[in-house]
Structure 1
């Protein structure tokens, strides 16, 4: 993102275009939508306060201390403030630009902004779905031998660094044996819809490949040809949110290229965080001015959004289940997709959809946030789980891998056995006429 000319003068720190900081009118409507402000009551932990901090640093009235960084880093980037804002402040863009510039200035000053966990796991392991898949094999074997339960019972994880403790706690029940989605899957019946590209992501493919298969089957049922290029990469969100803009841009370049080679009409994604990042590849165009990412970003659709927009066959298999739908922030706020997943779930015979209190408030997952900000993540997670359990659901549905990991960990800690699934899995089960007992068994 280009900086304003004034940002290069001696009057400004050059971290974020100054004019963008002035779009906030300080009305405070965002504060009641901000999860961290609701928890702490501290103005510095809300969007308006963070904009004040960024403006103070940019105008060289406030020193960028670790305390200031702490308030900014506590932001989940859930974008709920953008939904609430009457002035259209692009808060997510503001704080991401600030983080990128801060990181660059730290590196120029000879400082290393990353610790061992960020370097090895967040930047080397997590964004590489094949590397992550290999790393999860020992974890799968441990689960098969029930050694994970022994480790939990003996409290052995206490000797691990906190991020690794959190990773162990969040690890879902892994299901190996599912082959990778092939490069091409043909439509079923009459070809009635589009050539669809399926985005795999990184963590989602390694831990939730079953969701990709459910997505592919539903797309085939809808009359779509499904193309899944093997060369695609992580969406780049992990690096982008950590201030590694150039690394994210390179991934964007690869993804745009491989899907364009397949000549697809639309690129479907079933992970809300990935979808938000893919749709915002246009930010790279704004920085470079060549428009090369705009076409790709314009083709991206969340799976719920896409299915709700086409002539979809009615699901006929009954699923007499009470289902709570948990809004993923990067679907509801960043992509403004609210009704489509609810519409799809309500189309399933005998399924009862239940709404929860504070549906717009983040569950505390926020990508790698629950690994890096564990205290706030747990506070928000407990708040979310209380609202969910009040509806006494049989199943929890959410359209984001990070939310699923967070909710699974919370349920495990609470000793509650409720499956957490993607809405597409329930739609797929209905299409396949799977008995509800078999569905519940497969989801546990």
Structure 2
């Protein structure tokens, strides 16, 4: 479908017309907070989309500049009184831009990252684990010290990428067989292990499985599962995103699972979007609906199924940093906080602006490092004011961005996932 045809689909035009131009989205928008430009607000971007759809402006130029600068955090959806589905509008706009870029061959670096990273790396678990081993060796040899001297002289995206790397844990989750329940058996669940999460945050996945086991669940790992497709959608590669969705639906189809669980807010939002993404494919419409009905974020699931609450004491002052796609996309706000409060000894403190993005947004912090760093600096100022010694997250990108943010801000704090703190309380 031609780029301009994507912007003239009836559903797209209908969603555009839902916007009543009230401006309540402006205070919620991170890029508007930085630039104070109408064109860098959700309302302004919707006006640009409408102008492009009507042929009044080209897709390249102002449209491309301001649409690409959007983080896609969807905070505007939470603020909008009219229920504008801005996330779906943005996906379509970026899909149209992707077609234009392919013809003009612009932004070659971004396209190279998309081709190599999104198509040839993220969907392949073995390749990612091999990359993690290489990064582990890099850390063991003390090369980060050399990198900190060299990187300021190179593009800022490389500084961001190096700063995001957590200490690598090579004790990857064993996916060869189900993990048995460690308490009276309550049911059988499937675990979506993710791609970056599996390779670079192996401890988070192990903690997720152990907490489920302690609460009586047998955990299965469908071997054919692959990347969720969030990164492909963010880059406008809709056809590849659909292919990944079909593969995951087929992978989880076998097995009468009570739930399909993910511990990454961005992955969960993508997985829950499969029904919309495949709505025009008769062979997958009903399959996608059945799949989505079982997808749950780990916090969402455990808040209702914490059959054996932890009893170990964890003395910590904890600030929880919301994942935008968990808070605004999936509307999961209370469960992570409830789980943290269930840990004996944890003092949970709130940010002044918990609904504001940290600047990660998939690979946004690599493609738009200057804006991402300004958004991150505002977030870290809020984190600093909380005076916590542990920063808890519930999403892969947020976790890595907080690792970078702690280094950048010089904070004395540890970054962890909610389930890692939970698991610690089961083994004090």
TM-score normalized by the length of structure 2: 0.94
The within-5 A match list for 1:44-443 is 44-107=39-102, 109=103, 111=105, 114-152=110-148, 155-158=149-152, 160-192=154-186, 194-289=187-282, 290-432=285-427, 434=428
Asked if structure 2 preserves the Cα contact closer than 8 Å seen for 1:178 and 1:209, the reply is yes
In 1, the alpha carbon distance for the partners of 2:408 and 2:228 equals 30
Structure 1 position 229, deviation (Å): 1.4
**Ranges in structure 2 where 5+ consecutive residues have no aligned partner:** none
In 2, the alpha carbon distance for the partners of 1:96 and 1:231 equals 26
Asked if structure 1 preserves the Cα contact closer than 8 Å seen for 2:64 and 2:97, the reply is no
Structure 1 position 236, deviation (Å): 0.8
Encode CA deviations 1:243-286: one digit per residue, 9 max, x unaligned: 11111111111111111112212101000000000001011232
Asked if structure 2 preserves the Cα contact closer than 8 Å seen for 1:96 and 1:241, the reply is yes
Asked if structure 1 preserves the Cα contact closer than 8 Å seen for 2:163 and 2:403, the reply is no
Encode CA deviations 1:103-142: one digit per residue, 9 max, x unaligned: 23554x4646653233223432234332122122222112
Structure 1 position 102, deviation (Å): 3.0
In 2, the alpha carbon distance for the partners of 1:17 and 1:93 equals 8
Change (3 A) 1:177 1:187: closer
Could you say what secondary structure the match of 1:185 adopts? coil
**Ranges in structure 1 where 5+ consecutive residues have no aligned partner:** 435-444
In 1, the alpha carbon distance for the partners of 2:412 and 2:124 equals 31
- Which is worse superposed, 70-79 or 176-185? 176-185
In 2, the alpha carbon distance for the partners of 1:139 and 1:209 equals 14
Asked if structure 2 preserves the Cα contact closer than 8 Å seen for 1:117 and 1:163, the reply is no
In 2, the alpha carbon distance for the partners of 1:106 and 1:151 equals 33
Structure 1 position 311, deviation (Å): 4.7
Structure 1 position 160, deviation (Å): 4.4
Could you say what secondary structure the match of 1:287 adopts? coil
TM-score normalized by the length of structure 1: 0.90
